[in-house]
Structure 1
Amino acid sequence: MKLGYQTNTWGGVVGHPAGVTSVKDLYYLANGSTEQALTDISAVGYKGFELFDGNLMQYIDRKNRFQDLLTTYSLEFIAVYSGANFIFAEILEEELWKIEKVAAFASEMGAQHLVVGGGAIRANGVLETDYNALADGLNKVVAIAEKYGLIPSYHPHLGTIVQSPEQLDKLMPLTSINLCPDTAHIEAGGGNPAEIIKKYADRIKYVHLKDYENGEFLPLGKGKQNYHEIMQVLKKANYQGWVTVELDSFEDPKEGAQISKDYLKSNFELFDL
């Protein structure tokens, strides 16, 4: 398994103000320096990185600069993370237009994976039909990803209609998209990460690791997640893909990345470190 890191620790998750007035321009965004993130990720010894669609699109008119960063830091561009509401028919075309724009550029820059989150919770609660709408939207994402040679995966997330194991089980039979398990979000939603990975092993092409305890996302080894069980399940499933460590925020992002790397290096021999 190869080990990557998400750049969102540098600046945290802030979103994009254009979303207030223009759905097609609404991106995830880490409000920090992508170049500093890649400097630190490379220095710590990770092999690749994932970044938000908003941070990627900052390079749409500076393609050579982005490619130079990959060469300078000897990093692979693993994945771009995007998302949408997916359940509102009137704006779905705009959301998919944005995702396709992101997918096309990510593919051009050498990305392997397109990861999406979403499935909005309505002000008046969740409708059962929302799962069908989400699944239909995700199937369209699959078609977009395949058009550009990317591997599509859905990332269950707190704050969406797919938080709990029961909600995930409701969605997965309705769509063909792969599953990107985020161990912390799964546990925060009431699930057992190892059991979820075991259940959907044949649909897992990409994995997010993040530790968790008492409502807080933490560097690996600093929470209560049972990574020995998780790694055993991945090994038994003969998983050989990328594993990306993610940490939404940390006072010193480079230190957070180092803590997680040291933990994995000390405890597991599954990674190409």
Structure 2
Amino acid sequence: MTKHSVRIGHTAITWDNKEVDQAVAAIGSCGYWGTETFGWVLQDWAESNRNLPEVFERSELQLTSLYCHLDIVDPSKREEGIQQVMDWIKLYKQFNGPVVVIGGTMLQRDSFAITEHLPHITTTLNELGKRIGDQGLLCCFHPHTGTPVETDDEIHRVMNAVDPSVVKFAPDLGQIAKGGSNPFEFVKEYYELIRMVHIKDYIGGPVERNAEGQEIDKTGFLGYTPLGMGAVDIQGILAYLEERDYSHYALVELDGNQWSATRKGSPMMPPLEAVQTSKRYLEKLGYHNFRTV
């Protein structure tokens, strides 16, 4: 019998990053367990002398993870990128969260081949994982469309090359599906390394582009959808995590309309409604262990 005990949060990027305070209030009001934002968002608040920890305290929400990206391909940029991440982590430690999610920066995919870059990617992730671990935090690598690690082959090659004692896994179900792979297979294969899951639904099918080369966004959320409205087997994956007694965080995610080139200003629904729609889907699956609100 499924226990429905996984603690589920929701990332903040359904809102514009400048509206992280609105995101925290809305996500907290829905009873989610926590949220995630970017390292540079913490930096922006700190540099402008605004008190983001107080925003979280008001909504009784935890910053369960921090997303940081850096150039993982160019060895000449390695130390600068790692130092930037470590600076963001100093700010993150105020929030007492456990996880740092690491992704690569965007690049030209049509001219990229991972073979020549894999040693540099591995070295960067291992060094970063060690330094994050020394801070008492978990380093979780996050494949992402448009970055050096997107496809089935790229994800396998990187995850099989890194040091699993310092680099864990943070699969994003929607990103993996959009990249052309089956996210359920990655969850099963690398389950022992997973310390964070982004629960994201995707409309399905290959990415289509217009005459200018822009991605045709059918949902207004980069092709992603609130849970239960796309093609990803969210129910099956959550059931698998329950069967395996998954004890780490899982965060619903829906990329905000600010990222959309072809439907900016025209999402399928407003952010709060989208977050509430995903919660209703989770409740239909039997998840009622949201925080008391």
TM-score range, shorter chain: 0.7 to 0.9
The equivalent of 2:200 in structure 1 is 210
Residue aligned with 2:72, SS: coil
Correspondence 1:262-273 to 2 at 5 A? 262-269=280-287, 271-272=289-290
The answer to whether 1:174 aligns with 2:161 is yes
**Paired letter, 1:84:** L
**Paired letter, 1:135:** T
| Structure with more helix by fraction | 1
**Paired letter, 1:96:** I
Quote how far apart the aligned CAs of 1:237 are.
Answer: 2.0
Q: Give, in whole Å, the separation in 2 of the partners of 1:144 and 1:56.
A: 19
Quote how far apart the aligned CAs of 1:63 are.
Answer: 7.4
The equivalent of 2:23 in structure 1 is 37
Residue aligned with 2:13, SS: helix
Gap regions ≥5 residues in structure 2: 1-5, 208-222, 258-266
Quote how far apart the aligned CAs of 1:50 are.
Answer: 0.4
Quote how far apart the aligned CAs of 1:261 are.
Answer: 0.8
Residue aligned with 2:171, SS: coil
Q: Give, in whole Å, the separation in 2 of the partners of 1:268 and 1:92.
A: 44
The answer to whether 1:130 aligns with 2:117 is yes
The equivalent of 1:261 in structure 2 is 279
**Paired letter, 1:52:** F
Correspondence 1:157-168 to 2 at 5 A? 157-168=144-155
Correspondence 1:88-167 to 2 at 5 A? 88-118=74-104, 121=107, 124-167=111-154
Normalising by structure 1, we get a TM-score of: 0.87
Match for 1:237 among 214, 239, 244?
244
**Paired letter, 1:140:** E
Match for 2:181 among 169, 191, 195?
191
Seq. identity, %? 25
* 1:65-91 Cα deviation digits (max 9, x unpaired): 222122211111101101112111111
Q: Give, in whole Å, the separation in 2 of the partners of 1:143 and 1:47.
A: 28
Quote how far apart the aligned CAs of 1:119 are.
Answer: 6.1
Match for 1:60 among 43, 46, 67?
46
Structure 1 outlier segments of 4+, above 4 Å: 61-64, 119-123, 270-273
The equivalent of 2:10 in structure 1 is 5
* CA RMSD across the alignment: 1.9
Q: Give, in whole Å, the separation in 1 of the partners of 2:241 and 2:49.
A: 35
Q: Which moved more, 1:88-97 or 1:126-135?
A: 126-135
Normalising by structure 2, we get a TM-score of: 0.81
Q: Measured at CA, do residues 229 and 61 of structure 1 come closer, stay the same or move farther in structure 2, by a change above 3 Å?
A: same
Q: Measured at CA, do residues 196 and 33 of structure 1 come closer, stay the same or move farther in structure 2, by a change above 3 Å?
A: same
CA contact (8 A) 2:141 2:169 kept: yes
Gap regions ≥5 residues in structure 1: 12-29
* 1:151-181 Cα deviation digits (max 9, x unpaired): 1101111112221222111111211211101
Between the two proteins, the alignment pairs up a number of residues equal to 254
